Amino acid sequence: MLNGWVEPRLNRRESFIYAIAELASKSLVIAELEVRKLRHDPYDLLIRGVQPALWLLIFGQVFTRTRAIPTGNLSYLDFMTPGILAQSVLFVAILTGGMTLIWERDLGIVHKLLASPIPRAAMVLGKALACGIRSLSQIVIIYGLALLLGVNLNLHPLALLQVVVIVLLGAGCFCVFSLIIGCLVKNRERFTGIGQLLTMPLFFASNAIYPISLMPKWLQIISHINPLTYQVDALRGTMLVNGSSLYGFGLDCTILLLTLISLTIICGRLYPRVAM
């Protein structure tokens, strides 16, 4: 046989490594396509920063003065700043992931991608990574406002790197969750209503603006299965000088990563439904 006509068989370990490498490379290609869209509407990133700015400037300033919520050795403004960053990432992920998918279906882009040899999981992970990159702008906005308001931020390079990792994981989780909704509803108006319906319960059923200990028992149970709780907990332990994490940075990252993997598997199976 001529050289190159018959490829050597790979063992199981080599096949697994090859599959992971292919998944990663094709996910990066999809992410690059998504990130390129920012060139056509870069001001969207600034507009997304208006809502968290209002939370910090109005809600945070008022409740810092009232001292109605016990936050330990942290001022209330310090306590809520990581929660507002997580909220901002949540809103960006929920309201852009599924909506983008529905727009692409209407334009016929999804049909072309589904006809390509790209794995469905790579399509999902690529969009999740692009959403995480889009959410990095919220770090800059929140950090800038927090410094102006006197929040005691931890500016150590390792802490900043940990914040970036948590934002990418959190954005990925909620983007894939949004994609699942987009796969099921397949309608822009219906998706907008469902997206707005989900964001606020996810936000208030977490430890973003008050400790879990203040919640009633039934809400505490919900908060412990809410991925946003672990994103906020990790951010609170890394962003602040005197911040602390209830569960630990490693456990928070593990829960977010497992959530992302589980949602990606579900979304990968549902993805072809978009074209139906």
Helix axes 249-270, 157-185, angle to 10 degrees: 30
Report the distance separating Cα 160 and Cα 223, nearest Å. Answer: 26
Domain contains 2: no
Per-residue confidence of the chain (276 residues) as pLDDT tens digits?
445 444 555 555 667 677 777 778 888 888 888 788 777 766 666 777 777 778 888 877 777 777 777 777 888 888 899 999 999 999 888 888 888 888 878 777 777 777 877 788 888 888 899 888 888 888 988 998 889 888 899 999 999 999 999 999 999 999 999 988 888 887 777 887 887 788 888 888 888 888 888 889 999 999 999 999 999 999 999 999 888 888 999 999 999 999 999 999 998 888 877 766
- The three-point CA angle 196-201-204 to 5° equals 125
Among all chains, which residue has been given the structure tokens 């929040």?
151
Residues 171-193 as b or e (16 or more Cβ within 10 Å = b) = bbbbbbbbbbbbbebbeeeebee
The helix or strand, by DSSP H or E, that contains position 148, with its residue range, turns out to be helix 120-149
Domain contains 3: no
Print the domain residue range for 69.
Answer: 12-275
Domain contains 1: no
Domain contains 43: yes
Phi, psi angle pair for 155, to nearest 5°: -100, 15
Domain contains 97: yes
Domain count for the chain:
1
Among all chains, which residue has been given the structure tokens 């995480």?
132
Domain contains 5: no
Domain contains 238: yes
Domain contains 231: yes
| pTM of the complete model | 0.87
